[in-house]
């Protein structure tokens, strides 16, 4: 499992270099081919023993974060979100700018806010990053407009619960790396695609489709857990500890029925804990695989994660391990899978 190393790297959409280099270094001697395309996707290839179909396992390397949009006269930084990040999770958080400069996202203390301000959600225009500079000139010596800003969070484990940032989707990246480690060959040709810029429009996957023309694509994601305080059970998307979540539909895509049912069959055959993702909000690279070029039969298997798109997320170790096992068993089916 590579979760600690992966989650502690910075990789905001469009700036996935650290993540890509780490993954490449770990898998380069375990695959038949490895390349980086023009957009920045990392694509690994394992030739199958029969070489019939092309199966893509995909996970995106990028995480939500921010970019500096202005350096203010007082030395603070205005910023904009990259991907979906709510202001509620920003205030008081430590961030890292271009992997070096540390700062804190700040707003006025509650003691000097009036009642309307306390009750009204903040807009990002009201927030600033403080880096300790006292003037625009001093700040400009450390950062520049367009620099990337990422949350800084240390990975931790307490019993079977893991916390860290960017489980959406470093959990998926780690799953793919574990599968590469476990078995050398499958019947089908397998491509392991580590994608860029998912959080800003599912961009990396479209480029991968045009290069590989896969028969089947399975996207491995970190998805929302619904078992949050005060959220009624009927609104839960997934539950930590109930196994990988299998998506039947999400925004912009109804999952290929043949592949979806085949995934369920494999999970039941090997008594692997699993659950349906019961809410259809959000989208994944599966939608882009399905509707790019001639189209691909695509599905989604996810690791449930509480508090995704925030500085600290939580996953269950058993869910993670069962996701690895499920994908491994799917590949072991060879030509029998999704026929």
**Domain coordinates in residue numbering, the chain:** 3-63+165-336, 65-151
| SS3 assignment, position 44 | strand
Q: What b-and-e string marks burial along 218-240, b requiring 16 or more CB atoms within 10 Å of the CB? A: bbbbbbbbbeeeeeeeeebbbbb
> For the chain, what's the residue count?
339
Q: Are strands 94-97 and 148-151 parallel, antiparallel or unpaired?
A: antiparallel
pLDDT of residue 119: 67
11-31 mean pLDDT: 97
* Residue 19: exposure state from Cβ atoms within 10 A (0-12, 13-18, ≥19): buried
Tell me the per-residue pLDDT of 240-298, one tens digit each, with 9 for 90 and over: 999 999 998 988 889 899 999 999 999 999 999 999 887 777 788 889 998 988 889 99
In angstroms, rounded to a whole number, what is the distance separating the alpha carbons of residues 5 and 152?
Answer: 13
Taking CA atoms, 223 is separated from 45, 75, 322, in Å, by: 26, 37, 15
**The CATH classification of domain 65-151, taken from the options 2.40.30.40, 1.10.540.10, 3.90.75.20, 3.30.460.90:** 2.40.30.40
In angstroms, rounded to a whole number, what is the distance separating the alpha carbons of residues 35 and 58?
Answer: 15
8 Cβ neighbours under 8 A, 6+ residues apart: 153, 154, 155, 164, 165
pLDDT of residue 35: 97
Q: Which CATH class is domain 3-63+165-336?
A: alpha beta
Tell me the per-residue pLDDT of 33-77, one tens digit each, with 9 for 90 and over: 999 999 999 999 999 998 779 999 999 999 999 999 999 999 999
pTM of the model: 0.93
pLDDT of residue 117: 67
First-to-last alpha carbon distance for the chain, in angstroms, is 31
Task: Grade residue 131 by pLDDT with cuts at 50, 70 and 90.
Answer: very high
Residue 141 clears pLDDT 90, i.e. is over it: yes
Q: Which residues are catalytic?
A: 198
CA-based nearest residue to 241, from 269, 273, 277: 273
- The rounded mean pLDDT for the chain is 92
Cis peptide before 169 (omega within 30 of 0): yes
130 in Cβ contact with 103 (< 8 Å): yes
pLDDT of residue 274: 96
């Amino acid at each position: 499992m590579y979760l600690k190393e992966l989650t502690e790297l910075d990789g905001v959409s469009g700036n996935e270099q650290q993540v890509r280099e780490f993954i490449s270094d770990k898998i380069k001697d375990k695959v038949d081919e490895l390349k980086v395309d023009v957009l920045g996707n990392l694509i690994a290839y394992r030739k199958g023993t029969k070489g019939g179909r092309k199966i893509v396992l995909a996970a995106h390397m990028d995480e939500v974060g921010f970019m500096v949009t202005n350096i203010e006269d007082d030395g603070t930084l205005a910023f904009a979100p990259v991907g979906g990040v709510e202001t509620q999770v920003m205030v008081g958080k430590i961030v890292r700018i271009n992997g070096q400069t540390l700062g804190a996202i700040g707003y006025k203390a509650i003691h000097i806010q009036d009642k309307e301000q306390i009750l009204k959600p903040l807009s990002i225009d009201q927030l600033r990053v403080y880096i300790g500079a006292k003037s625009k000139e001093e700040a400009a010596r450390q950062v520049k407009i367009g620099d990337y800003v990422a949350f800084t969070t240390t990975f931790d484990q307490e019993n079977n619960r893991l916390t860290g940032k960017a489980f959406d989707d470093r959990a998926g990246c780690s799953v793919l790396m574990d599968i590469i480690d476990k078995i050398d060959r499958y019947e089908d040709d397998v491509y392991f695609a580590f994608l860029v810029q998912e959080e800003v429009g599912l961009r990396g996957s479209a480029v991968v489709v045009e290069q590989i023309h896969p028969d089947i694509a399975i996207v491995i994601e970190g998805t929302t857990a619904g078992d949050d305080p005060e959220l009624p059970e009927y609104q839960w998307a997934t539950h930590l500890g109930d196994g990988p979540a299998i998506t039947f539909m999400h925004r912009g895509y109804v999952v290929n029925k043949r592949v979806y049912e085949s995934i369920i069959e494999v999970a039941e055959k090997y008594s692997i804990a699993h659950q349906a993702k019961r809410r259809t909000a959000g989208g994944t690279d599966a939608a882009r695989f399905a509707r790019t070029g001639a189209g691909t039969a695509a599905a989604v298997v996810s690791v449930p994660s509480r508090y995704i798109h925030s500085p600290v997320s939580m996953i269950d170790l058993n869910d993670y391990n069962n996701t690895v096992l499920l994908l491994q068993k799917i590949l072991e089916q060879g030509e029998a899978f999704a026929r």
